[in-house]
Amino acid sequence: MNAVLTGVHHLKIWVSDLERSRSWYERVLGLEHHTSFQDDDGVIRGMSFTVPGASFQIALRENPELARALFDADPFALQVTLEGLDDWAARLDGLGVPHSPIFRASAGHAMGFTDPDGVQIRLYAPDERVHAAQVGAEGVYRSGEAPDPIPAPGRDQD
């Protein structure tokens, strides 16, 4: 049977101002412009970008109404390494991009920040030790049942 998923092709993010968001995503995530898309009226309202080091693209599509609907949402998470979370925190600090502290998530550690339209972006580092500590034999995630025995990067480790 060949009806299998083989990966992620692209993520589409609705934005209110394409040029502002393009600049931000290129500067903050290091995206590289790939293609621009014109609407029937000849105006460019969409762009796709390659993600260095990844096998998928991120697409931006200008639609202020849909961008407002995503405000304060986290529609996706980008995978990073556990060791890389501190480097990402330093990068975001250097760019003046506010972000959350690194926190323990359901199956690893994560941190979050928002794009110019308020869409939450999560950087997620899987950690099987965290996953095993939070998911019982029945495969159900148990939120907050045990103290965090596995410190996240960037946390004080006594």
In tens digits, the chain (158 residues) has pLDDT values of 676 667 788 999 999 999 999 999 999 999 999 999 988 898 999 999 999 999 999 999 999 998 888 777 778 889 998 889 999 999 999 999 999 999 988 778 889 999 999 888 999 888 877 666 666 555 555 555 444 444 555 544 43
Q: Extract the tokens encoding 149.
A: 């025995």
User: Which of the listed residues 69, 90, 117 is the one where a domain comes to its end?
Assistant: 69
22 and 86 both lie in a single domain: no
Q: Do both 109 and 36 map to the same domain?
A: no
Query: Which secondary-structure segment (H or E) carries 69?
Result: helix 64-69
Last residue of a domain, one of 69, 100, 121: 69
Beta strands 120-126; 77-79: pairing state? parallel
Q: Do residues 30 and 78 make contact, with C-beta atoms less than 8 angstroms apart? A: no
Based on the domain organization, do 38 and 75 belong to the same domain?
A: no
User: Which residue segment(s) compose the domain that 153 sits in?
Assistant: 71-158
What CATH number should be reported for the domain holding residue 86? 3.30.720.110
Distances (CA, A) of 15 to 32, 49, 54, 102, 112: 17, 14, 22, 26, 18
The pTM assigned to this predicted structure is: 0.76
Same domain, 63 and 127: no
The answer on 77 and 59 residing in a single domain is no
Residue 130: in which H helix or E strand, if any?
A: helix 128-134
Say if residues 16 and 34 touch (Cβ distance below 8 Å): no
pLDDT of residue 7: 76
Task: Please choose, from the candidates 111, 104, 57, the residue with its C-alpha nearest in 3D space to the C-alpha of residue 88.
Answer: 111
What pLDDT, on the 0 to 100 scale, is given for residue 147?
Answer: 41
**Number of domains into which the chain is organized:** 2
In the listed set 44, 69, 94, which residue is the last one of a domain according to the structure?
A: 69
Query: Do residue 85 and residue 98 come from a single domain?
Result: yes
How many H-runs (helices) and E-runs (strands) does the chain carry? Answer: 4, 8
Say whether both 113 and 151 belong to one domain.
yes
